[in-house]
Amino acid sequence: MRTSIVVVLAALLALAPSCKKKTTEPTAGSAAVAETGSAMGSAGSAAAPTPPPAPTGPTDPQIAAIVVAANQVDIDAGNLAIKKTKNPEVKKFAELMVTDHTAVNKGAVELVTKLKVTPEETDASKGLVAGGADNRAKLEKLDGAEFDKAYVANEVAYHKAVIGVLTSQLIPSAQNAELKSTLVGVKPAFDAHLEHAEKLQAALEGGGGSAMAGHEM
Amino acid sequence: MKLGLLLVVAAACGSNKPAPKILHVEIRGMKFEPDALAVSVGDTIEWTNQDLVPHSVTSAAFDSKAIAPHATWSYVARTGGDFAYNCTFHPMMVAAIIVR
């Protein structure tokens, strides 16, 4: 169980270095320009404007692929939980995950289609998919309360990881204003999912579902 | 001519009652904005879902069912009272309309 979370986290954390390698390695030409600029600047002459720093995070097509992969992983885990759990609160949560992440993916796909951005897979997006499959394989072997606890614990860890990457990498790196705005706009939904999952986890560890009453209307 | 005068008088008499208004609530960032809205009987409240996920506007008196992203649902306030409502998908989202 923990291994699959680690795989997902590792894939997400690997995102910045892998993308940095692709986007920041200076070419011979750019290095020469940088050196020239620096020399001119130190001489105090009217130097050409300093070029903006090269982007260090994922590109918009890479962000699109990561977003779609992250949502799909949670949709797949949710569908498994709907099939396996006997706990009504866990089932309700899983149904919400499927509904919300499906809707987010639909919106994301519509946006990148409109923007003519073709999602570009990276080690991070592939790692998310592989980690999700690994996680589901492990969950498949569990039943009853053991399954519920493992599924919900994974949801807590997963949403924490996704929110972290969304905040620290995807939102700051997004170049298209509409894509950035969409990422900012979707974060509250993920925050709410995390809060819901944590309450559910506390209820399950307390041995019952009554603690979830505070989450109900 | 007389009929026209009667119509003008009738319209003037009816003008004491304010015309029903349409008021808007945005659903954005997992919140209802505003989260408390005072309206008059006869007013229409329109909720627009600006999030990417579906929401609902649900109380003891009314229920929108699922409002899809970018869709709108409206309700005409027919009776006075305080109506707390939430989103059945995300029950932590709460708000109220006060109908006077």
Lowest-pLDDT range, A89-93, A118-122, A210-214, B24-28?
A210-214
d(CA A123, CA A52): 27
Q: What is the pLDDT of residue A190?
A: 97
The domains found in chain B, sorted by start residue, are 18-99 (2.60.40.420)
User: Percent of chain B at pLDDT above 70?
Assistant: 84
Q: What is the pLDDT, as a whole number, of residue B15?
A: 58
Q: Are strands B31-33 and B22-28 parallel, antiparallel or unpaired?
A: antiparallel
pLDDT digits (tens, 9 = 90+) for A142-189: 999 999 999 999 999 999 999 999 999 999 999 999 999 999 999 999
Q: State yes or no: pLDDT of B2 exceeds 60.
A: no
Sign of CA dihedral A61, A63, A68, A72: positive
pLDDT band with cut points at 50, 70 and 90 for residue A207: low
Kindly tell me if the per-residue pLDDT of A211 is higher than 50: no
Neighbours of A142 (CB within 10 A): 15
Strand order in the sheet with B36-39: B36-39, B94-99, B81-86
pLDDT score at A206:
85
Whether residue B54 and residue A191 make contact (CB cut-off 8 A), yes or no, is: no
What average pLDDT does chain B have? Answer: 89
Task: Give the ipTM of the model, two decimals please.
Answer: 0.81
Cis peptide upstream of residue A17 (ω within 30 degrees of 0):
no
Query: Three-state DSSP class for B82?
Result: strand
Per the CB < 8 Å rule, is B91 touching A96? no
* Residues A103, B50 contacting (CB under 8 angstroms): no
Tell me what pLDDT residue A52 has: 62
Reduced 3-state DSSP string for A117-135? CCCCCCHHHHHHHHHHHHH
A111 in B contact zone (CB under 8 Å) = no
- Decide if B89 and A192 are in contact by the 8 Å CB cutoff: no
Task: Inform me whether the pLDDT recorded for A214 exceeds 90.
Answer: no
Check CB contact under 8 Å for B92 and A195.
Answer: yes
Asked if B29 and B59 count as a contact pair (C-beta separation under 8 A), the reply is no
Average pLDDT, chain A: 80
* Strand pairing report for B81-86 and B31-33: unpaired
pLDDT of A152 reads 98
Between B12 and A22, name the one with better pLDDT: B12
Q: How near does any CA of chain A get to the CA of B37, in Å?
A: 19
With tokens 């050409």, the residue in question is A48
Q: Which comes out higher in pLDDT, residue A15 or B59?
A: B59
Looking at residue A50, what is its pLDDT? 73
Q: Would you state the pLDDT for residue A27?
A: 34
pLDDT, tens digit, for every residue of B57-90?
999 999 999 999 999 999 999 999 999 999 999 9
Cross-chain Cβ contact B51/A191 below 8 Å: no
> For the residues A3-31, what does the mean pLDDT come to?
43
Digit-coded pLDDT (tens) for A46-62: 556 676 665 578 999 99
So what's the pLDDT on residue A56? 73
Cα(A57)–Cα(B32) distance, integer angstroms: 33
* Region at B29 (left for phi over 0; alpha for psi -120 to 50; beta for the rest): left
Pairwise pLDDT comparison (A63 vs A8), residue with the higher score: A63
Q: Check whether A20 has a pLDDT greater than 50.
A: no
For residues B37 and B75, is the Cβ–Cβ distance under 8 A?
no
CB of A103 within 8 Å of a chain B CB? The answer is yes
Q: Is the pLDDT assigned to residue A108 strictly greater than 70? A: yes
Pick A2-25+58-215's CATH classification: 1.20.1260.10, 2.60.40.10, 3.40.630.30, 3.60.20.30. Answer: 1.20.1260.10
Nearest to A192 among B50, B69, B90 (CB): B90
Q: What is the mean pLDDT of residues A182-205?
A: 96
Average pLDDT over residues B4-19: 57
Beta bridge pairs of residue B84? B96
pLDDT band at A5 (very low <50, low <70, confident <90, very high): very low
